A = this chain, B = another copy of it.
Amino acid sequence: MDPDRLHAVIIEEIANRRAEVVAIDDRLASLTDRVIDFVSNGGKRIRPEFLWCGWLAAGGRPGPSDDLPDGLPDRRHDDTPVLQVAAALELIQACALIHDDVIDRSERRRGAPSTHRAVAKEHADAGLSGDSEHYGLSAAVLLGDLALAWADDLYTAGAHALDAVGRSQPVWRAMRTEVLAGQLLDLATAARTAAAPAEQAADAMRVNRFKTAAYTVERPLHLGAALAGAGATTIGALRTYGADIGVAFQLRDDLLGVYGDPAVTGKPAGDDLLEGKRTLLLATARAALRSDPDLLAELDAGIGNPRAPVQRLASIIAATGAPQQMERRIDELVASGLNALDTLEEDGRPAVAAPARARLTELAGIVTDRRR
C-alpha cells in the first residue's frame, strides 16, 4: 500500500466531513479539528495495511480501474474505494481511542493530551461556564460518535463503489460488534479482580481475540478480501493468519507494556502495571505464584496502583518465567499464522496471492517485533 495515497484519501475525505459540520456552525471547527488532527496525524496505519493485503491476496490490483471489454470500468480493480474503506478503519480506530481514553481516564495519547483532556483545558482556558472536566468528557463522547458515524459513511461509499456491499457488509458488521464486545468484556472482566488465575487467563485471551486480533488483523484482512470477492479458502487462510498474528501482536504489546523502553514505546516504563491492565502475562505470572502467597499478595497490591514500584513488580513477574512463556507463545502463533498463508486452492493455486504473502510475512515480523 502506498502510504501517501492513503494519507491523501484520508485528508480529502475528512476535509469533506469537516466542511459539512462547519456549514452547520463554524464555531464547531475547533472541536471537529480534534477528530481531524487525530486521524490525519496519528497512528501506524496497521489496519489499512492489513485491509490492503487482504484485497491483494484475493486478486485486487493496485492502480486505477481498467476498462472491461464492454467499455465499462472494471470496478473490482479500482483501488481508490479500497483506500476509502481503509480510511474508514482509521476513523473506527479514532472513535475507539477517543472513547477508550475517557474510559481509562488517560491523560495522554500519541504524545499529546487525550481528546477529553485537551477539550477540558480549552474550556477552562476560555473561562466558559460549567465543569471543564465534564465538558471535555461530553465533547469526547460526541466526537467519538462523529468518528464512528463517518467511518460508516466511508465504508459504505467505498463498498458501494466496488459493488461490494452485499459481500463485505457482514464482515464490517462483525468487526464493529467484535471490537465493542471486546471492550465491554475488558471492562467487565477488569472489575472481577477476585477471579481465579485460570479464569483470568481465559478472559485475557478472549479480550485479545476480539478487542485486538479480530479488530486489528483478522477482520481488516477479511474485509479487504471480501471487497475483492474472495472465495472461502482464501478467506479461511487469511482469517487463520489474522487471528494468530493478531493475538501475537497483543502478547508483544503486553510484554512491551511492562518491559518496553519508554523511548521506543512512548509510554512510561511499566505503564500496564500502573494502569492495572489484566493481561495474559499477568494472569500467567499470578498462576505461577499460587505457591507463594506473600509474593502474589505483593504483586496484587501493586497492580493498578499509580505509585507502585514498577521495577520490583516487573522483576516479580520475570522471576515466574511468564515472559519466556509469552515469547514462546508469540513464536508459535507467528509460525502457525505464516503457515496458514501456504494454504492451496484447487490445481495448486495459492489461496493467498504471492504479493500479499510476501507483505504479510513482513508484517507478521513488524507487528510482533520485540523492539517495536
| Separation of A152 and B194 alpha carbons in the complex (Å) | 38
* A141: contacting residue among B103, B134, B153, B160, CB under 8 A: B103
Set of chain B residues within 8 Å of A178, measured between Cβ atoms: 24
> B185–A25 contact, CB under 8 A?
yes
| Interface assignment of A297: CB less than 8 Å from any CB of chain B | no
* A181: contacting residue among B25, B176, B182, B183, CB under 8 A: B25
In the complex, the chain B residue whose C-beta lies closest to that of A161 is B166
List 7 tightest A-B contacts by C-beta distance, closest first.
A128-B191, A152-B152, A103-B138, A149-B176, A129-B193, A24-B181, A153-B173
Chain A positions 116 through 142: 1 when the CB is less than 8 Å from some CB of chain B, otherwise 0:
000000010000111000110111011
> B149–A185 contact, CB under 8 A?
no
* A142: contacting residue among B123, B135, B184, CB under 8 A: B184
Set of chain B residues within 8 Å of A20, measured between Cβ atoms: 174, 177, 181
Set of chain B residues within 8 Å of A145, measured between Cβ atoms: 95, 99, 144-145, 148, 180
| Interface assignment of A31: CB less than 8 Å from any CB of chain B | yes
Known contacts A129-B192, A165-B156, A166-B160: A187-B149 contact under CB 8 Å? no
- Within the oligomer, what is the number of copies of this chain? 2
| Interface assignment of A241: CB less than 8 Å from any CB of chain B | no
Among A21, A103, A181, chain B packs the most CB atoms within 10 A around the CB of: A181
Set of chain B residues within 8 Å of A343, measured between Cβ atoms: none
> A169–B180 contact, CB under 8 A?
no
Chain A positions 158 through 170: 1 when the CB is less than 8 Å from some CB of chain B, otherwise 0:
0010000110010
| Interface assignment of A68: CB less than 8 Å from any CB of chain B | no
| Separation of A29 and B182 alpha carbons in the complex (Å) | 13
| Interface assignment of A367: CB less than 8 Å from any CB of chain B | no
Set of chain B residues within 8 Å of A138, measured between Cβ atoms: 102-103, 187
> B188–A31 contact, CB under 8 A?
yes
Set of chain B residues within 8 Å of A129, measured between Cβ atoms: 191-194
Interchain Cβ contacts under 8 Å between A and B, 30 examples: A20-B177, A21-B177, A24-B181, A24-B185, A25-B181, A28-B185, A95-B145, A99-B141, A102-B138, A102-B141, A105-B134, A129-B192, A129-B193, A129-B194, A130-B190, A130-B191, A135-B187, A142-B184, A144-B145, A145-B145, A146-B177, A146-B180, A149-B176, A149-B180, A152-B156, A153-B169, A153-B173, A156-B156, A157-B169, A160-B165
| Interface assignment of A210: CB less than 8 Å from any CB of chain B | yes
Q: Which residues from 210 to 253 on chain A have a C-beta closer than 8 Å to any C-beta of chain B?
A: 210
In the complex, the chain B residue whose C-beta lies closest to that of A128 is B191
| Separation of A25 and B188 alpha carbons in the complex (Å) | 11
| Interface assignment of A206: CB less than 8 Å from any CB of chain B | yes
| Interface assignment of A27: CB less than 8 Å from any CB of chain B | yes
| Interface assignment of A17: CB less than 8 Å from any CB of chain B | yes
| Separation of A192 and B128 alpha carbons in the complex (Å) | 6
| Separation of A143 and B173 alpha carbons in the complex (Å) | 15
Shortest C-beta distance, A215 to chain B (Å), equals 12
Chain A positions 10 through 26: 1 when the CB is less than 8 Å from some CB of chain B, otherwise 0:
00000001001100110
* A185: contacting residue among B27, B99, B143, B165, CB under 8 A: B27
Shortest C-beta distance, A168 to chain B (Å), equals 10
Set of chain B residues within 8 Å of A135, measured between Cβ atoms: 187, 191
In the complex, the chain B residue whose C-beta lies closest to that of A152 is B152
* A180: contacting residue among B134, B142, B183, B210, CB under 8 A: B142
Set of chain B residues within 8 Å of A184, measured between Cβ atoms: 28, 31-32, 139, 142-143, 146
| Separation of A194 and B165 alpha carbons in the complex (Å) | 49
